[in-house]
Structures are given as structure tokens and as C-alpha cells.
Amino acid sequence: MAAMSASSPCDPEPGDLIEVFRPLYQHWALYLGDGYVINVVPEDEGPTSILGSAASVFSNRARVKIQLLKDVVGSNTYRVNNKYDNTCTPLPVHVIIQRAQSFVNKEVSYNVLDSNCEHFVTMLRYGEAVSNQATRAIGAIGFVTVAAGAFSLLGLLHSRSRDRHY
């Protein structure tokens, strides 16, 4: 799957998952047709603001919006990425679109780890919320936490062994 810029778009079909490559993460939207997508935007995030994107990590509320794909992508690149089709069965397109339309302009819970933009669009397409991006982040946080604990324990043991020598 090749990544495209807004000026050289690929041809998404209604119900497709759109992966937008932002500087620090991927943003996800669902293609509705006629150039429009539906996506969740944290309340404090502008259309494609890098600072807003970083601030979205701390947001806990988002607004569901229908926007032009080109506006969501901005100067970034994107691709159609229905990567979960191998493990999840997509709902019929008319059901996906109907589900999506029921959320327009609603405020929803937002959490980077368990209720993010990828969770939202996969819930629309498959009926279940999935996010490998969040799973990887949780794994990284767990690894850092374990590593920090191990280093703290080693430091404590090292300082106790030094204390005995004096």
C-alpha cells in the first residue's frame, strides 16, 4: 500500500480506513465518499496542528467530525489501510456509513491508549474497537516501567552494598 499526499490521492471506497501519517503518530479516519471522512478530533486540536496533535495525548474528550479528506491530511501523507480485514469481518458498507452518521457532531470519550481515533474507526468498520498503535504504546509503557523498576532496584542494591564496605 503506497502512501499518498492530498495532491496525489489514492481512490478510497466508502467504509475504508484511512491512515494519515502525522509527525509523531498515525491519525485514523473512515472514508464516507465524495472526498469526505469521519474522524474524532480531540477538543483542543486544530485541523492538522502539530502542537494540537501533541496536546491530544492529554485530552479526554473528542468531537466526531465529517471533514474533507484533503483537510484532514493537510501536508501529510495517507493511505487506505484496512489492515484488520484479515482478522475482523467488515460490516456491510451501508451499515458502516449509517453507524458513522449516528456519531456526527457528538462528543465522545478520548484516550490515547484505549479510546483513540483508530479505535473509533475500527468500531465503525468492524463493530469492535481495535488499535495496534495503542497496543504498541501500552507495551512500550510497560517495558519502560519494568526497566525503570529494575534500574531502581539495582541502584538500591548497589547503594546498600557500598554502605556495607564503609
Active-site residues, by number, are 27, 117
The 10 Å Cβ neighbour count of residue 133 is: 19
Yes or no: say if 88 and 128 are a contact pair by the CB < 8 Å rule: yes
DSSP element (H, E) containing 33 = strand 26-33
Distance CA 133, CA 80 (A): 16
Secondary structure class of 82 (helix, strand, coil)? coil
In terms of residues, how long is the chain?
166
Cell of 87: 482478522
DSSP string of 50-101, one letter each residue: HHHHHHGGG--EEEEEEEEHHHHHTTSEEEE--GGGGTSPPPPHHHHHHHHH
Q: Per DSSP, what are the bridge partners of residue 9?
A: none
